[in-house]
Structure 1
Amino acid sequence: MSVAVANQTGPVVFRPHRATWMSSALAVVLVAAFVVVAILLRSSSTGVIFERSDQVAMVFIGLLLGGATMLFATPRVRADAEGVSVRNVLVGRRFTWLEVLSVSFPDGASFARLELPEDEYYAMLAIQAVDRDRAVDAVRTLRRLHQAAWAQRD
């Protein structure tokens, strides 16, 4: 998780670390594989006639799959004194700290989550168990911000 702190009261931002590396590596492998297939497509003797347009399409498919793989590197959690914004793969949501009951990371869970009223929760894909110490630091930081917001309310 990369952590950027503007100042003591400024926002903090958490992003996945290992997922970004894995997504990037997989995207490179996918694009490279499709480019190699596109290059070798015309020189194979399978009896099928492949044109330049087929080669371009193979490269395009590789780029499309590589880009889709990079979506797993986009989750982000941005928190400040007023609340927390969670952007997962395709959707995002903003919560005020008063809407959040707690910040938790249950045993065996892959992601941290915000505990909400009525037994609901919102997963934070940016804070992942595979990031280990970075995830622990992120949860502790979010808990401090949450406690500070609730202390100001009282």
Structure 2
Amino acid sequence: MQERSRKEWNCKHEMQERNRESLIFQNSTHFPKILLYVILQDKMEDFDHLFGKCEWFQVLWIEINKWLGVQIPQAEPRKVVQSIRRKQWSKMKKETVVAVHGAMIYLTWQVRNWKIFQATTVNTDLVVKQIQFVVKESVGMFIGSKHARNCIDFLEAIASST
């Protein structure tokens, strides 16, 4: 009997903790409108600005699109992925473009954090080169695979680009 009440208490306590964490997350000023610092200036902005209207991200987006030779839509991440899934591309090409978009978001967020917490400004050229390096390394491993046959021209263009 005592064992059962302990299990019930543990279960109830765990549920209360989850609810408390959920409430903190939902009531937080960081969600759903995450307040961010602009990378180029010292003022507050939201997620939509950082990944849409921000001049720094615009430059990154243009350079990556030129390098890939495809047009990654500029929208919230979920809509971008949905748009890429609807393309008449091979699965490998879709996965590569989605991965590049994810890298753009991740590195933009990282640059934003460096700006806030370390007062360090990062040039977009450095981020473009970092994305290119990582993607080239990854693509190089898959060029000989069966899955790469349908988009070999795309993958070889990425792997051989400077």
Give the TM-score taking structure 1 as reference length: 0.29
Higher relative contact order (CA 8 A, sep 6+): 1
Q: Which has the higher helix share?
A: 2
Q: Which has the higher strand share?
A: 1
